[in-house]
Amino acid sequence: KPSIVHCLKLLMLLALGGVTMHVPDEDDVVASLGALRLDGHFSFDDAHAAARDFGNRCSLLPAAVLHPGSVSDVAATVRRVFQLGRSSPLTVAARGHGHSLLGQSQAAGGIVVKMESLAAAAARAVRVHGGASPHVDAPGGELWINVLHETLKHGLAPRSWTDYLHLTVGGTLSNAGVSGQAFRHGPQVSNVNQLEIVTGRGEVVTCSHEVNSDLFYAALGGLGQFGIITRARIALEPAPKMVRWIRVLYSDFETFTEDQEKLIASEKTFDYIEGFVIINRTGILNNWRTSFKPQDPVQASQFQSDGRVLYCLELTMNFNHDEADIMEQEVGALLSRLRYISSTLFYTDVTYLEFLDRVHTSELKLRAQGLWEVPHPWLNLLIPRSTVHKFAKEVFGKILKDSNNGPILLYPVNRTKWDNRTSVVIPDEEIFYLVGFLSSAPSSSGHGSVEHAMNLNNKIVDFCEKNGVGMKQYLAPYTTQKQWKAHFGARWETFERRKHTYDPLAILAPGQRIFPKAS
């Protein structure tokens, strides 16, 4: 059952801030919006489903759910709410796949737009274009896995991914979309050519690097604040058939990160570079090589971790069946430059689709054990290279020494691949690390509880703030404008100006808690 403590705090904050607390109900929505002619429909009986998310810690009931049958439905609804003006408390939240962590795709007493309904309604929803600059036009509510299935039919695929593909195009583009390809191609927001957006005034606008570029950059990483992304044009590349997927271990953080940085700096390198931290007692030590073959079975069986914190470098090299020999040579040459513990080289060959959809395989296993729909008090940080060692020493050496409850990702990316005209906030350094503490909280007390995980998260954030780590949060869970201003720093002014331009009444994405609805 979702904890509502955070949400209650939020409602109290709104009350203290002097915001009118009239929460609209079904009758209000019917009175306000009932006259709209729609291709789709409003529903009132699935409000509870729209009040849930992956974080499972916050549940805010909307007044209604819009199942749009066309882009016009989205535009007409937002336009109507805009026309109702300041006297109406109605807000509008686009809901992608609802994989937010703390109510970001929810709207208390507002309208949730189920973007997947729009994706399903569009005829031939995903359109692939080949040629010299291959690209795909995908509805904002389409899942990335479906985009991949469609593009693979043409031998093509998007270049930049998230680790998990059962997320929507509009949902990840509203954040950044980061995975092990980002060092080469940048995050997903760096791989978009054009967007179609319904602004907070209810206007449908097409924008790109050249046309309406301010809105284009605003919406990329814009946390849903400037408009609802109804379509995105995404760059494609030829898709490989196969992937050599490799894992090796380090016991020394410095050697691990030096090798990661060496790899992301090289022209000729792997196609995907990530890493994770293995803290003993989590059971992950025994899992990290499941379904992987050891390069040297005898040596591998003798490897003992001796209770140390270990760092796993995860790499892939793409190949087609007739290129297996070349791939073997290239992988060998690249691995020979690395300083991992030699007995810990493990690998497997899988199809490109299997590799990209890898987290879904874990999802199915966790679902079968009832461990997917538990609270997820995740913490995602972007840590500058210059402070990552100080950070690691404290966090892995002290704060998480004895316990943590989920994978910890840690890998570097290059700032040059991020476009600073977008709304994404990153540290001010050439190389920074994405560090994701992906905790699950399956029990209501003790080490598996939300409280325990939050206590550890708070200690980590506290350490960063008190020791000048220069960290920025990714998928930030802030609840006050003061926190958001600090997050955006010098970029707040632009963010606020764009909000006044494209969503002046602050109708959109209220669950991000950045701008209260104008009253």
Catalytic residues: 99, 163, 274
In the bound complex, which residue of the shown chain has the CB atom lying closest to ligand FAD?
A: 170
Residue with tokens 């957006």: 197
**Is residue 223 near ligand FAD by the rule CB under 6 A?**
yes
Closest approach, Cβ 28 to ligand FAD, in A, equals 21
Phi/psi for 435 (5° steps) reads: -120, 115
- State which of positions 105-144 bind ligand FAD (CB under 6 A): 105, 115, 140
Span from 294-302, 350-358, 478-486, 505-513 in contact with ligand FAD (CB under 6 A): 505-513
Evaluated on CA atoms 333, 328, 250, 297, the torsion sign reads negative
CA distance 431 to 80: 45
Closest approach, Cβ 273 to ligand FAD, in A, equals 14
Q: Are 279 and 408 in contact (CB under 8 A)?
A: yes
Q: How many CB atoms lie within 10 A of CB 265?
A: 12
CA distance 56 to 98: 10
- State which of positions 480-499 bind ligand FAD (CB under 6 A): none
Question: What 3-state class would DSSP assign to 221?
Answer: coil
Angle of CA points 439, 224, 441, to nearest 5°: 15
DSSP state of 168: B
Closest approach, Cβ 459 to ligand FAD, in A, equals 23
- State which of positions 273-292 bind ligand FAD (CB under 6 A): none
Binding string, residues 426-465; x marks residues near ligand FAD by CB under 6 A: ----------------------------------------
- 349-371 CB burial, b ≥16 within 10 A, e <16: ebebbebbbbeeeeeeebeeeee
Nearer to ligand FAD, 469 or 507 (CB): 507
Q: Helices (DSSP H) in 224-322: which residue ranges?
A: 253-265, 284-287, 297-302
Span from 258-266, 392-400, 476-484, 504-512 in contact with ligand FAD (CB under 6 A): 504-512
Span from 81-89, 251-259, 332-340, 509-517 in contact with ligand FAD (CB under 6 A): 509-517
**Is residue 217 near ligand FAD by the rule CB under 6 A?**
no
Query: Considering only residues 511, 514, 515, 517, which one is a binding residue for ligand FAD as defined by CB under 6 A?
Result: 511
CA distance 513 to 478: 7
Closest approach, Cβ 140 to ligand FAD, in A, equals 3
Nearer to ligand FAD, 178 or 345 (CB): 178
Q: Are strands 64-67 and 111-114 parallel, antiparallel or unpaired?
A: parallel
Q: Are 54 and 98 in contact (CB under 8 A)?
A: yes
Q: How many of the chain's residues bind ligand FAD (CB under 6 A)? A: 36
Closest approach, Cβ 126 to ligand FAD, in A, equals 15
**Is residue 408 near ligand FAD by the rule CB under 6 A?**
no
Q: How many CB atoms lie within 10 A of CB 489?
A: 11
Which of 198, 26, 231 shows the shortest CA–CA distance to 111? 26
**Is residue 253 near ligand FAD by the rule CB under 6 A?**
no
CA distance 189 to 182: 10
Nearer to ligand FAD, 52 or 385 (CB): 52
Nearer to ligand FAD, 98 or 240 (CB): 98
CA distance 483 to 465: 13
Query: Considering only residues 40, 186, 224, 412, which one is a binding residue for ligand FAD as defined by CB under 6 A?
Result: 224
**Is residue 158 near ligand FAD by the rule CB under 6 A?**
no
Binding string, residues 341-370; x marks residues near ligand FAD by CB under 6 A: ------------------x-----------
Closest approach, Cβ 200 to ligand FAD, in A, equals 11
Strand order in the sheet with 41-43: 41-43, 64-67, 111-114, 92-95
Using CB under 6 A as the criterion, which residues of the chain lie in contact with ligand FAD when the complex forms?
Answer: 54, 93-100, 104-105, 115, 140, 162-164, 167-168, 170-172, 174-179, 223-224, 228-229, 359, 475, 509, 511-512
